[in-house]
Amino acid sequence: MSLPSDAFRLVAARPHDPLRTYHPRRSSLGPDREEDLRVHFPFLGFSVHDDTGDGPLDTTSMFGRSAPLVLEIGSGMGETTAVMAAADPDRDYLAVEAHLPGVASLLGLVARGGLTNVRVGHGDALDLVRRALPTESLDAVHVFFPDPWPKARHHKRRLVQPSHVALLRSRLVVGGVLHCATDWVDYADAMLEALSADPFLENTSTGFLDRPPHRPVTKFEQRGLDLGHEVRDLVFRRVR
């Protein structure tokens, strides 16, 4: 597997590429994360653009087994993914993050935690879903605290919108779940509307959920809570 390019080609969208759902940004890695990237990426990581090609992703070879698969979209610095995967050893986790410091951070957590059920992708998760994940291949999709794109003119860039919901749902097995969380009230309402409109999905609650105990509080989430933000979870299940 090739190391991810620091040129950030993946965020330089061409005119006919789909709109990106995240803010492109550059951040320094620092020596520890540079070392984690250099040492662990070849074994625990993959590049969405350079390593996946145009065919289905061979997750059986990637993990060395065939197990239910969870896709984590935007794993951030990786603390939540590492905790959830450690508590869920019978499922494999594909954690995809566009920003290199987060990739490096999670690689370090996975390696030092001895986790064998996590692989870390660098790139756009929706690109991976479109090109390399077959229909009905995922047991769950996690979308925790995606970029809220708060300005109305940017709402078209939000990750949770009807076309993306349909794409992600198509990759779920029947019975698989799409779990979203946000601390932006208007985005939560838009998420609920988009998810409820999909005829193949069913809300596991009557509306929003309190944070399920298996989803740990992230540092980002805690900052929002400290500011008085209301966190809302949604868990929808594919029913047909």
The rounded distance, in Å, linking the Cα atoms of 167 and 165 is 5
Q: Report CA-CA distances (Å) from 94 to 36, 77, 98, 156, 211.
A: 18, 14, 13, 26, 22
The rounded distance, in Å, linking the Cα atoms of 145 and 139 is 20
Neighbour-count burial for 169-187, b at 16+ CB within 10 Å, e otherwise: bbbbeeebbbbbbbbbeeb
Q: Report CA-CA distances (Å) from 100 to 124, 142, 236.
A: 12, 19, 30
Q: How many CA atoms lie within 13 A of 18 on its CB side?
A: 17
Active-site residue among 92, 124, 127, 147?
Answer: 147
The answer to whether 147 is a known catalytic residue is: yes
Active site residues: 147
